[in-house]
Amino acid sequence: MRSRIVSLAILYIKSTFSLSLPSWKELKKPKKLAKTIGIGLGIVLILADVGFMFVMMNMTMYEGLKPAGMQGLMLLNASITASVLVFIMAFMMALSMFSQSGIESGFLVLPFSSRELLAAKMFLVYFAEALMGVFVMAIAIVIYGIKEAPPFMFYVNGLVTAFALPLLPTAISYLILVPLMNASRLFRSKNFIIYLGGFLGMGFALAFNFYIQSAMTKIGAPASLALYVDSGSLISRLGQAWIPSWLAWKALSEASSITGILAVLGNLAIGLAGCAVVVVLLGNGYVRSLRSFNESTFSKKKLSLDGKGREGRRTFTQKSLMRSLVAREIRLINREPMYLLNGPFVMILMPALMAVVYLAQREILSEAVKSLGPMLTGPGAYLIPAAFGGFLGSSSSITSTAVSRDAKALPWIKSMPIKSTWYFAAKLLHAELFALLGAFIGCGAGALLFGIGALDSLIALLLALLFSTALNMAGLWLDVTWPRLRWDNPLAAMKQNPNSSIAILATMGLIGGLSGLSAVIALPRYAYAMIFGAVFAILILVWVKFFPKYAAKRYKDMEA
């Protein structure tokens, strides 16, 4: 029989990660097999993408430090990077876990002690971060191992250290968050936590991006690398201040000596002691935060039904059906934090991310912009901003998840006297509002960055709008054909919906393809605008001609 705490921790892990591998029998079904392969490929691609970044970082650093005999500093950098990353991720995950406090408070009726509840939840956070820590550390260890052939204990120490690194960040995350949850009612709202987590996550992502981009720039040049690893540099100061990182470095750099073993044990002892202290001290506080978790947004405001006053005139007033349908679409996506952050908010996040990359690698990118000079005197002057605007305008995932998001309400919607044409038109109109915003931001940013004139900017905006509209229409067609109609968590309709990934990848592929085509085929300056514009316009007309009839049939047949 398992102990209660282990059972609860396993339950948390299974419910959070939905760990269930298909059986051989299930894999015989082509659809299940294709889905499993697709998910597997997706995971491999993501790991390869992140892994490549760390491989390049470690390789470049090793090659840069080797001539000075300082290659061991690569391990310090890996320890600090892993520590910072697991700290950020542990904090974010612990924060996001509080958004489930409403559900989790159900466990309070079961015979769990407050410490068991907190320990099981902390184990869940630790489990996820340990995987991350091992991944980051393993890359550095393998690279160093291949290059330097260290003793066997190097690998043992490295592996144990990788598992030890997330312990203290997990403890500290709860040390900060439990008192915070109890300090203010504001924190005991699911929506507030999701938004806070979302914005903090984006902030951390931008900061980490900045850190990686800066590091890559610096370690690429020997002079900058010397400053990067200098005793007064950020990395050195972090290494000295954050004891687990310093111990990790010692465990690896002095793996064959007793110092290395002591460093490993020290790291484990600090981490476990930190977790134990938090569990003992904050168990009751954690349960208190669960008990008092309150997401009620009941309004005490009284609405006037006599139509008097500004609000009175606005509420309970007849409006056109289309206006009502579009308003419903906007409200439902903007008020669901998971949808907003993963959908329309991309319009803000993406330019911010680009700005960070630009700031971090200003010198390199300035050179790149200069190298675009010849293109900017030709059709590139409007094609490049149009690509920015087109990508941004079609990346809201509104249409490619439109039906899936409505799955639960579909029977209700279908029982209303609403033509399928109106229903889908409202969804498209909603996406187009954001397409306009995205195209404007993208083209505007491109125009500012490259100093583009008014005529080219206007052409870029028109092209971006046509492109976004065609892509939004294609996204809607996709989600009408293969909607995800059965889900328990609204997140599944957006983040776990293959349609949104397909739409974004198709957008990227199309922009890449058209860019390549424009570079290869030489045409007069504005011929590209006319050809591309005409192609998008034809696609739009084809959609207008065929989609309503197709969608009406699909709408009729949909069974949510």
Binding residues for another protein, total number by CB under 8 A: 40
Site string for another protein, 302-331 (x = CB under 8 A): xx-xxx-------xxxxxxx-xx--xx--x
- Torsion angle, alpha carbons of 402, 407, 413, 419, to 10: 40
Q: Work out which of 414, 421, 506, 539 binds another protein, going by CB under 8 A.
A: 414
Report d(CA 326, CA 321) in Å as an integer.
Answer: 9
Nearer to another protein, 49 or 559 (CB): 559
Mark residues 331-370: x for contact with another protein by CB under 8 A, - for none.
xx--xx----------------------------------
User: Site mask, another protein, residues 389-408, x = CB under 8 A?
Assistant: -------------------x
What's the CA gap between 253 and 78, in Å, rounded?
Answer: 12
Among the listed residues 410, 414, 335, 390, the one whose alpha carbon sits nearest the alpha carbon of residue 508 = 390
In angstroms, rounded to a whole number, what is the distance separating the alpha carbons of residues 478 and 298? 38
| Cβ–Cβ under 8 Å, residues 164 and 271 | yes
Q: Looking only at residues 77 through 116 of this chain, which bind another protein when binding is defined by CB under 8 A?
A: none
User: Distance (Å, rounded) from C-alpha 430 to C-alpha 344?
Assistant: 10
CB of 495 to another protein, least distance (A): 17
> CA 116, CA 110: separation in Å to the nearest integer?
11
Q: Which residues, 6+ apart, have CB-to-CB distance to 487 below 8 Å?
A: 404, 407, 493, 496
Conformation bin of residue 366: beta by default, left when phi > 0, alpha when psi is -120 to 50:
alpha
| CB count in 10 Å sphere of residue 488 | 7
Minimum distance of another protein from residue 420's CB (angstroms): 10
Closest approach, Cβ 25 to another protein, in A, equals 18
Q: Which stretch binds another protein (CB under 8 A): 28-36, 89-97, 152-160, 417-425?
A: 417-425
Q: How many CB atoms lie within 10 A of CB 279?
A: 21
Out of 3, 23, 231, 415, the only residue in the binding site for another protein (CB under 8 A) is 415
As measured in angstroms, the least distance from the Cβ of 337 to another protein is 10
Report, in Å, the least distance between residue 313 CB and another protein: 9
Q: Do residues 181 and 289 touch, judged by C-beta distance below 8 A?
A: yes
Choices 123-131, 143-151, 361-369, 412-420; region in contact with another protein by CB under 8 A = 412-420
Instruction: State which of residues 49, 363, 488, 559 lies at the interface with another protein (CB under 8 A).
Output: 559
Q: Tell me how far, at minimum, the Cβ of 102 lies from another protein, in Å.
A: 11
Minimum CB distance to another protein smaller for 398 or for 441: 398
∠ CA 45-51-57, rounded to 5°: 145
Number of Cα atoms under 13 Å in the Cβ half of residue 313:
3
298 binds another protein (CB under 8 A): yes
For tokens 């690429």, the residue is: 220
Residue corresponding to tokens 């491109």: 446
Per-residue contact string for residues 191-230; x = within reach of another protein by CB under 8 A: ----------------------------------------
Q: Give contact residues for another protein (rule: CB under 8 A).
A: 296-303, 305-307, 315-321, 323-324, 327-328, 331-332, 335-336, 408-412, 414-419, 556-557, 559
